[in-house]
Structure 1
Amino acid sequence: MLWYIPLTRWMYWTDWGQPAKIERAALDGSERRVLVSTDLGWPNGLALDARDDRLYWADARTDRIESSRLDGSDRKVLLDSQLPHVFGFTLLGQYIYWTDWQGRSIERLHKHTGERLVILDQLPDLMGIKAVSVHARAGENNCSHANGGCSHLCLQRPHGGRVCACPTGLELRADLRGCTVAEAFLLYAQHSDIRRISLQSRRTDQIPLAGVREVAALDYDGNDGRLYWSDKALKNRPQFPSEEIEFTINPSSRHTAGPTHLGGFELPSPAANTKLVDSEGPIGGPIAVV
Protein backbone atom coordinates (compact mmCIF):
# COMPACT_ATOMS: atom_id res chain seq x y z
CA MET A 1 0.00 0.00 0.00
CA LEU A 2 1.44 3.37 -1.07
CA TRP A 3 0.14 6.88 -0.45
CA TYR A 4 1.34 10.29 -1.59
CA ILE A 5 0.05 13.53 -0.02
CA PRO A 6 0.51 16.68 -2.12
CA LEU A 7 0.08 18.91 0.94
CA THR A 8 3.01 17.34 2.78
CA ARG A 9 4.98 16.17 -0.31
CA TRP A 10 5.81 12.89 1.42
CA MET A 11 4.99 9.39 0.24
CA TYR A 12 4.01 6.73 2.78
CA TRP A 13 3.87 2.95 2.46
CA THR A 14 3.40 -0.29 4.41
CA ASP A 15 5.88 -3.18 4.37
CA TRP A 16 5.10 -6.80 5.34
CA GLY A 17 8.78 -7.61 5.86
CA GLN A 18 10.50 -8.68 9.06
CA PRO A 19 9.77 -6.61 10.97
CA ALA A 20 6.60 -5.23 9.37
CA LYS A 21 6.64 -1.45 9.29
CA ILE A 22 5.19 1.80 7.98
CA GLU A 23 7.65 4.20 6.36
CA ARG A 24 7.83 7.53 4.58
CA ALA A 25 10.25 9.20 2.16
CA ALA A 26 10.49 12.06 -0.31
CA LEU A 27 9.49 11.33 -3.91
CA ASP A 28 13.13 10.92 -4.92
CA GLY A 29 13.65 8.29 -2.19
CA SER A 30 15.64 10.57 0.09
CA GLU A 31 14.94 11.26 3.79
CA ARG A 32 13.55 7.77 4.28
CA ARG A 33 12.26 7.12 7.80
CA VAL A 34 10.51 4.28 9.65
CA LEU A 35 7.41 5.63 11.42
CA VAL A 36 5.90 2.49 13.00
CA SER A 37 7.69 -0.84 13.43
CA THR A 38 6.32 -2.48 16.60
CA ASP A 39 3.29 -4.73 17.08
CA LEU A 40 2.52 -4.97 13.35
CA GLY A 41 1.72 -8.09 11.33
CA TRP A 42 0.13 -7.59 7.92
CA PRO A 43 -0.53 -3.85 7.54
CA ASN A 44 -2.86 -4.06 4.54
CA GLY A 45 -4.59 -0.69 4.56
CA LEU A 46 -3.15 2.81 4.78
CA ALA A 47 -4.88 6.19 4.66
CA LEU A 48 -3.78 9.70 5.60
CA ASP A 49 -5.42 12.93 6.67
CA ALA A 50 -2.92 15.75 6.20
CA ARG A 51 -5.23 18.41 7.63
CA ASP A 52 -5.68 16.52 10.92
CA ASP A 53 -2.05 15.32 10.89
CA ARG A 54 -3.17 11.69 11.25
CA LEU A 55 -2.13 8.38 9.73
CA TYR A 56 -4.60 5.45 9.71
CA TRP A 57 -3.96 1.79 8.97
CA ALA A 58 -5.57 -1.66 9.22
CA ASP A 59 -3.67 -4.82 10.13
CA ALA A 60 -5.07 -8.13 8.85
CA ARG A 61 -2.98 -10.15 11.32
CA THR A 62 -3.58 -8.24 14.56
CA ASP A 63 -7.17 -7.49 13.42
CA ARG A 64 -6.96 -3.85 14.41
CA ILE A 65 -7.48 -0.41 12.94
CA GLU A 66 -5.01 2.09 14.40
CA SER A 67 -3.96 5.71 14.06
CA SER A 68 -0.94 7.92 14.76
CA ARG A 69 0.36 11.33 13.87
CA LEU A 70 2.06 11.61 10.49
CA ASP A 71 5.44 11.33 12.23
CA GLY A 72 4.44 8.04 13.93
CA SER A 73 3.84 9.47 17.41
CA ASP A 74 0.59 9.41 19.45
CA ARG A 75 -0.38 5.88 18.36
CA LYS A 76 -3.98 4.85 19.16
CA VAL A 77 -6.15 1.76 18.61
CA LEU A 78 -9.50 2.68 17.02
CA LEU A 79 -10.97 -0.81 16.57
CA ASP A 80 -9.74 -4.19 17.82
CA SER A 81 -12.74 -6.53 17.69
CA GLN A 82 -14.77 -8.35 15.03
CA LEU A 83 -12.38 -7.45 12.25
CA PRO A 84 -11.77 -10.81 10.49
CA HIS A 85 -9.61 -9.83 7.49
CA VAL A 86 -9.35 -6.25 6.21
CA PHE A 87 -8.04 -5.81 2.66
CA GLY A 88 -9.12 -2.58 0.92
CA PHE A 89 -8.90 0.58 3.05
CA THR A 90 -9.73 4.23 2.35
CA LEU A 91 -10.60 7.49 4.09
CA LEU A 92 -12.96 10.33 3.20
CA GLY A 93 -14.08 13.09 5.54
CA GLN A 94 -14.84 11.72 9.00
CA TYR A 95 -15.13 8.08 7.93
CA ILE A 96 -12.79 5.16 7.28
CA TYR A 97 -14.07 2.58 4.77
CA TRP A 98 -12.77 -0.96 4.24
CA THR A 99 -13.47 -4.30 2.60
CA ASP A 100 -13.39 -7.52 4.61
CA TRP A 101 -12.53 -10.83 2.92
CA GLN A 102 -14.04 -13.12 5.51
CA GLY A 103 -17.03 -10.96 6.34
CA ARG A 104 -17.56 -10.33 2.61
CA SER A 105 -18.62 -6.81 3.51
CA ILE A 106 -17.95 -3.11 3.00
CA GLU A 107 -17.92 -1.24 6.31
CA ARG A 108 -17.18 2.18 7.70
CA LEU A 109 -15.94 3.62 10.99
CA HIS A 110 -16.19 7.17 12.30
CA LYS A 111 -12.60 8.12 13.00
CA HIS A 112 -13.46 10.07 16.18
CA THR A 113 -16.54 8.45 17.75
CA GLY A 114 -15.82 4.84 16.73
CA GLU A 115 -19.36 4.40 15.36
CA ARG A 116 -19.34 1.39 13.01
CA LEU A 117 -21.72 0.56 10.16
CA VAL A 118 -21.98 -2.27 7.63
CA ILE A 119 -22.74 -0.62 4.27
CA LEU A 120 -23.00 -3.79 2.15
CA ASP A 121 -22.53 -7.47 2.88
CA GLN A 122 -22.67 -10.86 1.16
CA LEU A 123 -20.29 -9.60 -1.53
CA PRO A 124 -17.86 -12.29 -2.74
CA ASP A 125 -14.35 -11.60 -4.05
CA LEU A 126 -13.97 -8.15 -2.48
CA MET A 127 -10.62 -6.47 -3.08
CA GLY A 128 -9.66 -2.78 -3.15
CA ILE A 129 -11.84 0.20 -2.30
CA LYS A 130 -11.52 3.96 -2.84
CA ALA A 131 -13.71 6.77 -1.47
CA VAL A 132 -13.89 9.70 -3.92
CA SER A 133 -15.17 13.26 -3.56
CA VAL A 134 -16.21 15.23 -6.65
CA HIS A 135 -15.37 18.42 -4.75
CA ALA A 136 -11.67 17.68 -4.46
CA ARG A 137 -9.64 20.77 -5.34
CA ALA A 138 -6.89 20.90 -7.90
CA GLY A 139 -3.74 22.62 -6.72
CA GLU A 140 -0.46 23.92 -8.07
CA ASN A 141 3.13 23.12 -7.22
CA ASN A 142 6.66 23.61 -8.51
CA CYS A 143 6.08 20.99 -11.21
CA SER A 144 2.75 22.37 -12.47
CA HIS A 145 4.20 24.66 -15.14
CA ALA A 146 6.43 23.33 -17.94
CA ASN A 147 7.13 20.25 -15.82
CA GLY A 148 9.27 22.38 -13.52
CA GLY A 149 11.86 22.78 -16.28
CA CYS A 150 12.66 19.05 -16.18
CA SER A 151 12.99 17.00 -19.36
CA HIS A 152 11.44 13.86 -17.85
CA LEU A 153 10.46 13.57 -14.16
CA CYS A 154 9.75 16.48 -11.83
CA LEU A 155 9.57 15.56 -8.13
CA GLN A 156 8.43 17.89 -5.37
CA ARG A 157 10.55 18.20 -2.25
CA PRO A 158 8.92 17.98 1.21
CA HIS A 159 10.47 21.25 2.39
CA GLY A 160 9.85 23.19 -0.82
CA GLY A 161 11.32 23.29 -4.29
CA ARG A 162 11.69 20.41 -6.72
CA VAL A 163 14.27 18.05 -8.17
CA CYS A 164 14.49 16.61 -11.67
CA ALA A 165 14.92 12.86 -12.12
CA CYS A 166 15.29 10.37 -14.95
CA PRO A 167 13.58 7.07 -15.80
CA THR A 168 15.43 3.76 -15.83
CA GLY A 169 18.18 3.75 -18.46
CA LEU A 170 18.92 7.48 -18.32
CA GLU A 171 20.83 9.70 -15.91
CA LEU A 172 20.74 13.37 -15.03
CA ARG A 173 22.96 15.78 -16.97
CA ALA A 174 25.22 18.32 -15.29
CA ASP A 175 22.50 21.00 -15.62
CA LEU A 176 20.30 18.89 -13.26
CA ARG A 177 17.37 19.30 -15.64
CA GLY A 178 17.86 17.04 -18.67
CA CYS A 179 18.47 13.31 -19.00
CA THR A 180 21.00 11.46 -21.12
CA VAL A 181 22.10 7.90 -21.81
CA ALA A 182 24.99 6.72 -19.66
CA GLU A 183 28.26 6.57 -21.60
CA ALA A 184 29.52 3.50 -19.71
CA PHE A 185 27.86 1.10 -17.32
CA LEU A 186 28.09 -2.34 -15.75
CA LEU A 187 25.40 -4.98 -16.14
CA TYR A 188 25.14 -7.66 -13.49
CA ALA A 189 22.70 -10.40 -12.53
CA GLN A 190 21.29 -11.42 -9.16
CA HIS A 191 19.29 -14.61 -9.65
CA SER A 192 15.99 -13.27 -11.10
CA ASP A 193 17.12 -9.62 -11.40
CA ILE A 194 19.30 -7.88 -13.96
CA ARG A 195 20.69 -4.53 -12.84
CA ARG A 196 22.80 -1.75 -14.28
CA ILE A 197 25.18 0.64 -12.54
CA SER A 198 26.47 3.77 -14.24
CA LEU A 199 30.25 4.16 -14.15
CA GLN A 200 29.78 7.93 -14.05
CA SER A 201 27.12 8.57 -11.42
CA ARG A 202 27.16 5.15 -9.69
CA ARG A 203 23.38 5.10 -10.02
CA THR A 204 21.99 1.56 -9.89
CA ASP A 205 18.77 0.58 -11.68
CA GLN A 206 16.89 -2.67 -11.86
CA ILE A 207 15.95 -3.33 -15.48
CA PRO A 208 12.16 -3.92 -15.60
CA LEU A 209 11.94 -7.39 -17.15
CA ALA A 210 9.19 -9.93 -16.61
CA GLY A 211 9.67 -13.68 -16.64
CA VAL A 212 13.33 -13.77 -15.58
CA ARG A 213 13.97 -16.68 -13.22
CA GLU A 214 17.62 -17.74 -12.91
CA VAL A 215 20.22 -15.76 -14.85
CA ALA A 216 23.54 -17.51 -15.49
CA ALA A 217 25.35 -15.09 -17.84
CA LEU A 218 24.63 -11.96 -19.85
CA ASP A 219 25.98 -9.75 -22.63
CA TYR A 220 24.97 -6.54 -24.40
CA ASP A 221 24.96 -5.53 -28.06
CA GLY A 222 25.40 -1.78 -28.34
CA ASN A 223 24.67 -1.81 -32.09
CA ASP A 224 20.97 -2.58 -31.70
CA GLY A 225 20.50 -1.97 -27.97
CA ARG A 226 19.76 -5.58 -27.09
CA LEU A 227 20.53 -7.30 -23.83
CA TYR A 228 21.11 -11.06 -23.98
CA TRP A 229 21.19 -13.50 -21.10
CA SER A 230 21.11 -17.21 -20.43
CA ASP A 231 18.33 -18.30 -18.10
CA LYS A 232 18.71 -21.75 -16.59
CA ALA A 233 14.95 -22.04 -16.33
CA LEU A 234 13.67 -20.20 -19.43
CA LYS A 235 16.64 -19.71 -21.80
CA ASN A 236 15.47 -16.43 -23.33
CA ARG A 237 16.65 -13.21 -24.95
CA PRO A 238 14.84 -9.85 -24.56
CA GLN A 239 15.33 -6.46 -26.13
CA PHE A 240 16.83 -3.84 -23.84
CA PRO A 241 15.24 -1.87 -22.26
CA SER A 242 11.91 -3.29 -23.49
CA GLU A 243 10.01 -5.79 -21.34
CA GLU A 244 9.19 -7.89 -24.40
CA ILE A 245 10.92 -11.27 -24.29
CA GLU A 246 11.84 -13.26 -27.38
CA PHE A 247 12.46 -16.95 -26.69
CA THR A 248 15.35 -18.31 -28.72
CA ILE A 249 15.48 -21.81 -27.29
CA ASN A 250 12.31 -23.65 -26.29
CA PRO A 251 10.70 -27.09 -26.60
CA SER A 252 9.23 -26.23 -30.02
CA SER A 253 12.58 -25.08 -31.41
CA ARG A 254 14.14 -26.69 -34.47
CA HIS A 255 17.02 -27.86 -32.27
CA THR A 256 16.72 -31.50 -31.29
CA ALA A 257 19.10 -31.19 -28.33
CA GLY A 258 19.15 -28.00 -26.32
CA PRO A 259 21.33 -26.95 -23.40
CA THR A 260 20.57 -28.65 -20.12
CA HIS A 261 22.65 -26.38 -17.89
CA LEU A 262 23.50 -22.97 -19.30
CA GLY A 263 26.80 -21.71 -17.95
CA GLY A 264 27.55 -18.71 -20.15
CA PHE A 265 27.61 -17.24 -23.63
CA GLU A 266 29.28 -14.51 -25.65
CA LEU A 267 28.20 -12.19 -28.44
CA PRO A 268 30.63 -11.86 -31.35
CA SER A 269 31.14 -8.45 -32.92
CA PRO A 270 29.36 -7.74 -35.15
CA ALA A 271 26.67 -9.92 -33.55
CA ALA A 272 25.72 -12.54 -36.12
CA ASN A 273 25.28 -15.49 -33.79
CA THR A 274 24.82 -16.04 -30.09
CA LYS A 275 27.17 -18.68 -28.71
CA LEU A 276 25.98 -20.59 -25.67
CA VAL A 277 28.01 -22.90 -23.47
CA ASP A 278 26.33 -25.97 -22.00
CA SER A 279 28.22 -27.03 -18.89
CA GLU A 280 26.39 -30.32 -18.34
CA GLY A 281 24.51 -31.38 -21.46
CA PRO A 282 25.40 -33.83 -24.19
CA ILE A 283 26.61 -31.05 -26.50
CA GLY A 284 30.33 -30.77 -25.96
CA GLY A 285 30.96 -27.26 -27.25
CA PRO A 286 29.34 -23.92 -28.05
CA ILE A 287 25.99 -23.79 -29.83
CA ALA A 288 25.27 -21.09 -32.43
CA VAL A 289 21.73 -19.77 -32.43
CA VAL A 290 20.74 -17.49 -35.29
Structure 2
Amino acid sequence: MNPYSLTFDKNITIKSKDLKENIFVIKCGGSLLSNKIYLEQIIKEISQIYQLGIKIILVHGGGNEINDICNKFHISSKFLNGQRVTDKETMEIVQLSLHGKTNRNIISSFNKYNVKSIGISGQDSKTIEANIRDEKLGYVGNITNVNLNLIEHLLNGNYLPVISSLATDKQGNTYNINADIMAAEIAIAISADKFLILSDIDGIYDDYKNKNSLYHDITLNQIEKGIQDNKFTDGMLPKLEACSLLIKKKKTDCQIINGKKENNILESLIFNMPIGTKIINL
Protein backbone atom coordinates (compact mmCIF):
# COMPACT_ATOMS: atom_id res chain seq x y z
CA MET A 1 0.00 0.00 0.00
CA ASN A 2 1.24 3.50 -0.78
CA PRO A 3 2.47 5.14 2.47
CA TYR A 4 0.46 8.28 1.71
CA SER A 5 -2.83 6.49 1.18
CA LEU A 6 -3.97 6.98 4.79
CA THR A 7 -2.26 10.22 5.86
CA PHE A 8 -1.95 11.98 2.53
CA ASP A 9 -4.48 14.79 3.12
CA LYS A 10 -3.16 15.57 6.60
CA ASN A 11 0.44 15.75 5.43
CA ILE A 12 -0.45 18.00 2.52
CA THR A 13 -2.40 20.37 4.77
CA ILE A 14 0.61 20.77 7.07
CA LYS A 15 3.11 21.20 4.24
CA SER A 16 0.95 23.56 2.21
CA LYS A 17 1.24 26.33 4.83
CA ASP A 18 4.88 26.81 3.80
CA LEU A 19 4.25 26.50 0.07
CA LYS A 20 1.19 28.67 -0.52
CA GLU A 21 1.83 31.34 -3.17
CA ASN A 22 4.99 29.52 -4.34
CA ILE A 23 5.39 29.28 -8.11
CA PHE A 24 6.12 25.86 -9.61
CA VAL A 25 6.99 25.43 -13.29
CA ILE A 26 6.34 21.92 -14.58
CA LYS A 27 7.32 20.64 -17.99
CA CYS A 28 5.58 17.57 -19.38
CA GLY A 29 6.63 15.77 -22.55
CA GLY A 30 4.47 14.42 -25.32
CA SER A 31 5.23 10.77 -24.62
CA LEU A 32 3.33 11.09 -21.33
CA LEU A 33 0.53 13.29 -22.61
CA SER A 34 -0.34 10.95 -25.48
CA ASN A 35 -1.13 8.17 -22.99
CA LYS A 36 -4.59 8.64 -21.45
CA ILE A 37 -3.68 6.84 -18.22
CA TYR A 38 -0.54 8.88 -17.59
CA LEU A 39 -2.26 12.11 -18.64
CA GLU A 40 -5.10 11.55 -16.17
CA GLN A 41 -2.69 10.65 -13.36
CA ILE A 42 -0.47 13.70 -13.97
CA ILE A 43 -3.38 16.13 -14.21
CA LYS A 44 -4.90 14.73 -11.01
CA GLU A 45 -1.68 15.26 -9.04
CA ILE A 46 -1.10 18.75 -10.43
CA SER A 47 -4.72 19.59 -9.59
CA GLN A 48 -4.15 18.55 -5.96
CA ILE A 49 -1.15 20.87 -5.78
CA TYR A 50 -3.14 23.71 -7.37
CA GLN A 51 -5.85 23.29 -4.71
CA LEU A 52 -3.23 24.08 -2.05
CA GLY A 53 -2.91 27.63 -3.34
CA ILE A 54 0.38 27.00 -5.13
CA LYS A 55 0.74 28.81 -8.45
CA ILE A 56 1.55 26.39 -11.27
CA ILE A 57 2.69 26.94 -14.84
CA LEU A 58 2.54 23.83 -17.03
CA VAL A 59 4.61 23.85 -20.22
CA HIS A 60 4.18 20.99 -22.65
CA GLY A 61 5.53 19.52 -25.84
CA GLY A 62 3.80 16.95 -28.00
CA GLY A 63 6.39 14.89 -29.79
CA ASN A 64 4.38 11.68 -30.02
CA GLU A 65 1.28 13.39 -31.39
CA ILE A 66 3.41 15.28 -33.92
CA ASN A 67 5.00 12.02 -35.04
CA ASP A 68 1.60 10.35 -35.41
CA ILE A 69 0.17 13.15 -37.54
CA CYS A 70 3.34 13.33 -39.64
CA ASN A 71 3.06 9.60 -40.27
CA LYS A 72 -0.58 9.94 -41.35
CA PHE A 73 0.45 12.53 -43.92
CA HIS A 74 3.57 10.55 -44.89
CA ILE A 75 5.89 13.29 -43.66
CA SER A 76 9.19 11.99 -42.33
CA SER A 77 10.38 13.15 -38.89
CA LYS A 78 14.02 14.17 -38.61
CA PHE A 79 15.94 15.02 -35.43
CA LEU A 80 19.26 16.72 -34.73
CA ASN A 81 20.73 16.57 -31.20
CA GLY A 82 17.34 15.66 -29.79
CA GLN A 83 15.46 18.49 -31.53
CA ARG A 84 12.97 18.20 -34.36
CA VAL A 85 13.96 19.54 -37.77
CA THR A 86 10.99 21.74 -38.70
CA ASP A 87 10.34 22.91 -42.25
CA LYS A 88 7.21 24.89 -43.24
CA GLU A 89 5.14 21.76 -43.83
CA THR A 90 6.17 20.25 -40.50
CA MET A 91 5.52 23.58 -38.75
CA GLU A 92 1.85 23.35 -39.71
CA ILE A 93 1.69 19.86 -38.20
CA VAL A 94 3.45 21.08 -35.05
CA GLN A 95 0.88 23.84 -34.52
CA LEU A 96 -2.03 21.50 -35.18
CA SER A 97 -0.70 18.91 -32.76
CA LEU A 98 0.63 21.08 -29.95
CA HIS A 99 -2.10 23.64 -29.63
CA GLY A 100 -4.98 22.11 -31.55
CA LYS A 101 -4.91 18.72 -29.87
CA THR A 102 -2.48 18.24 -26.97
CA ASN A 103 -3.22 21.56 -25.29
CA ARG A 104 -6.98 21.01 -25.61
CA ASN A 105 -6.71 17.51 -24.10
CA ILE A 106 -4.87 18.90 -21.09
CA ILE A 107 -7.46 21.63 -20.53
CA SER A 108 -10.30 19.09 -20.79
CA SER A 109 -8.60 16.94 -18.15
CA PHE A 110 -8.15 19.88 -15.77
CA ASN A 111 -11.83 20.73 -16.17
CA LYS A 112 -12.71 17.39 -14.52
CA TYR A 113 -10.99 18.62 -11.35
CA ASN A 114 -12.46 22.14 -11.41
CA VAL A 115 -9.08 23.72 -12.06
CA LYS A 116 -9.20 27.15 -13.66
CA SER A 117 -6.79 26.32 -16.47
CA ILE A 118 -6.20 28.45 -19.55
CA GLY A 119 -4.50 27.10 -22.66
CA ILE A 120 -2.13 29.44 -24.46
CA SER A 121 0.96 29.19 -26.59
CA GLY A 122 4.10 31.27 -26.49
CA GLN A 123 2.67 33.15 -29.46
CA ASP A 124 -0.16 34.65 -27.42
CA SER A 125 0.50 38.28 -26.52
CA LYS A 126 4.11 37.69 -27.66
CA THR A 127 4.74 35.78 -24.45
CA ILE A 128 7.73 33.99 -26.02
CA GLU A 129 9.74 35.75 -28.72
CA ALA A 130 12.35 33.88 -30.70
CA ASN A 131 14.59 33.81 -33.72
CA ILE A 132 16.08 30.93 -35.71
CA ARG A 133 18.15 28.67 -33.47
CA ASP A 134 20.03 26.88 -36.23
CA GLU A 135 19.47 26.97 -40.00
CA LYS A 136 19.84 23.18 -40.05
CA LEU A 137 16.80 22.88 -37.76
CA GLY A 138 14.52 25.11 -39.82
CA TYR A 139 11.70 26.81 -37.88
CA VAL A 140 13.10 25.87 -34.50
CA GLY A 141 13.44 28.92 -32.32
CA ASN A 142 16.02 30.30 -29.96
CA ILE A 143 14.23 32.31 -27.27
CA THR A 144 15.12 36.00 -27.25
CA ASN A 145 12.54 37.33 -24.80
CA VAL A 146 10.00 36.14 -22.23
CA ASN A 147 7.11 38.56 -21.67
CA LEU A 148 5.44 37.71 -18.36
CA ASN A 149 2.46 40.09 -18.63
CA LEU A 150 -0.08 37.47 -19.71
CA ILE A 151 1.31 34.71 -17.47
CA GLU A 152 1.32 36.94 -14.38
CA HIS A 153 -2.19 38.20 -15.18
CA LEU A 154 -3.43 34.61 -15.29
CA LEU A 155 -1.61 33.58 -12.09
CA ASN A 156 -2.96 36.62 -10.24
CA GLY A 157 -6.45 35.50 -11.24
CA ASN A 158 -5.75 32.01 -9.84
CA TYR A 159 -5.66 30.53 -13.31
CA LEU A 160 -3.27 27.75 -14.24
CA PRO A 161 -1.53 28.59 -17.56
CA VAL A 162 -1.00 25.58 -19.83
CA ILE A 163 1.53 26.71 -22.42
CA SER A 164 2.33 24.94 -25.67
CA SER A 165 5.88 25.33 -26.92
CA LEU A 166 5.36 27.73 -29.82
CA ALA A 167 6.87 31.19 -30.20
CA THR A 168 6.85 34.15 -32.56
CA ASP A 169 9.31 36.70 -33.90
CA LYS A 170 8.80 40.40 -34.57
CA GLN A 171 7.75 39.62 -38.15
CA GLY A 172 5.03 37.23 -37.00
CA ASN A 173 6.79 34.02 -37.99
CA THR A 174 6.02 30.97 -35.84
CA TYR A 175 8.75 28.81 -34.30
CA ASN A 176 8.79 25.40 -32.71
CA ILE A 177 10.54 25.68 -29.34
CA ASN A 178 11.91 22.79 -27.36
CA ALA A 179 9.52 22.55 -24.39
CA ASP A 180 12.32 21.85 -21.88
CA ILE A 181 14.11 25.05 -22.87
CA MET A 182 10.91 27.10 -22.90
CA ALA A 183 9.93 25.88 -19.45
CA ALA A 184 13.37 26.76 -18.07
CA GLU A 185 13.32 30.25 -19.62
CA ILE A 186 9.88 30.90 -18.11
CA ALA A 187 11.07 29.62 -14.72
CA ILE A 188 14.05 31.96 -14.88
CA ALA A 189 11.97 34.97 -15.90
CA ILE A 190 9.35 34.48 -13.19
CA SER A 191 11.85 33.37 -10.49
CA ALA A 192 10.05 30.07 -9.91
CA ASP A 193 10.47 28.37 -6.55
CA LYS A 194 10.66 24.89 -8.11
CA PHE A 195 11.23 23.49 -11.59
CA LEU A 196 10.21 19.97 -12.49
CA ILE A 197 10.68 18.02 -15.72
CA LEU A 198 8.42 15.01 -16.15
CA SER A 199 10.12 12.33 -18.21
CA ASP A 200 9.21 8.76 -19.20
CA ILE A 201 12.29 7.40 -17.37
CA ASP A 202 13.38 7.69 -13.73
CA GLY A 203 15.97 10.41 -14.31
CA ILE A 204 19.55 10.69 -15.54
CA TYR A 205 21.64 7.54 -15.79
CA ASP A 206 25.41 7.25 -15.98
CA ASP A 207 24.71 4.22 -18.18
CA TYR A 208 21.09 3.85 -19.27
CA LYS A 209 21.50 0.09 -19.70
CA ASN A 210 22.46 -0.17 -16.01
CA LYS A 211 19.37 0.75 -13.97
CA ASN A 212 21.53 0.96 -10.84
CA SER A 213 23.49 3.88 -12.30
CA LEU A 214 20.78 6.51 -11.73
CA TYR A 215 22.10 9.84 -10.49
CA HIS A 216 20.14 10.92 -7.42
CA ASP A 217 21.85 14.26 -7.82
CA ILE A 218 24.19 15.57 -10.49
CA THR A 219 26.38 18.67 -10.77
CA LEU A 220 26.83 20.96 -13.75
CA ASN A 221 30.41 19.71 -14.14
CA GLN A 222 29.18 16.11 -14.27
CA ILE A 223 26.61 17.09 -16.89
CA GLU A 224 29.21 18.80 -19.07
CA LYS A 225 31.59 15.84 -18.80
CA GLY A 226 28.79 13.36 -19.52
CA ILE A 227 27.85 15.25 -22.68
CA GLN A 228 31.49 15.34 -23.80
CA ASP A 229 31.78 11.58 -23.19
CA ASN A 230 28.52 10.92 -25.11
CA LYS A 231 26.85 9.42 -22.03
CA PHE A 232 23.91 11.77 -22.45
CA THR A 233 22.40 11.97 -25.92
CA ASP A 234 19.24 12.57 -27.95
CA GLY A 235 16.19 13.73 -25.97
CA MET A 236 18.13 14.01 -22.71
CA LEU A 237 20.33 16.78 -24.15
CA PRO A 238 17.70 19.57 -24.18
CA LYS A 239 16.57 18.52 -20.69
CA LEU A 240 20.11 18.90 -19.41
CA GLU A 241 20.53 22.17 -21.31
CA ALA A 242 17.35 23.48 -19.71
CA CYS A 243 18.35 22.48 -16.19
CA SER A 244 21.89 23.80 -16.60
CA LEU A 245 20.54 27.12 -17.89
CA LEU A 246 18.24 27.44 -14.90
CA ILE A 247 20.82 26.46 -12.28
CA LYS A 248 23.39 28.89 -13.68
CA LYS A 249 20.97 31.83 -13.61
CA LYS A 250 18.76 31.06 -10.60
CA LYS A 251 19.07 29.11 -7.37
CA THR A 252 15.93 27.11 -8.08
CA ASP A 253 15.19 23.50 -7.13
CA CYS A 254 15.51 21.58 -10.37
CA GLN A 255 14.54 17.93 -10.77
CA ILE A 256 13.88 15.32 -13.46
CA ILE A 257 11.47 12.54 -12.45
CA ASN A 258 9.42 9.76 -13.99
CA GLY A 259 5.93 11.08 -14.71
CA LYS A 260 4.61 7.56 -15.23
CA LYS A 261 4.87 6.67 -11.55
CA GLU A 262 1.90 7.51 -9.38
CA ASN A 263 2.48 10.19 -6.70
CA ASN A 264 5.95 11.06 -8.04
CA ILE A 265 4.92 14.67 -8.66
CA LEU A 266 3.46 15.06 -5.17
CA GLU A 267 6.38 13.30 -3.51
CA SER A 268 8.85 15.54 -5.31
CA LEU A 269 7.16 18.93 -5.05
CA ILE A 270 5.28 18.65 -1.76
CA PHE A 271 7.16 16.08 0.31
CA ASN A 272 10.66 16.73 -1.10
CA MET A 273 11.28 13.01 -1.48
CA PRO A 274 14.65 12.08 -3.05
CA ILE A 275 13.29 10.63 -6.28
CA GLY A 276 14.53 11.05 -9.82
CA THR A 277 17.58 13.22 -10.39
CA LYS A 278 18.18 16.59 -8.75
CA ILE A 279 20.49 19.03 -10.51
CA ILE A 280 22.75 20.91 -8.12
CA ASN A 281 25.28 23.71 -8.49
CA LEU A 282 28.66 22.88 -6.96
In the superposition, the TM-score normalised over structure 2's length comes to: 0.23
Tell me the TM-score normalised to structure 1 length.
0.22
RCO (CA 8 Å, sep 6+): is it higher in 1 or 2? 2
- Structure with greater helix percent: 2
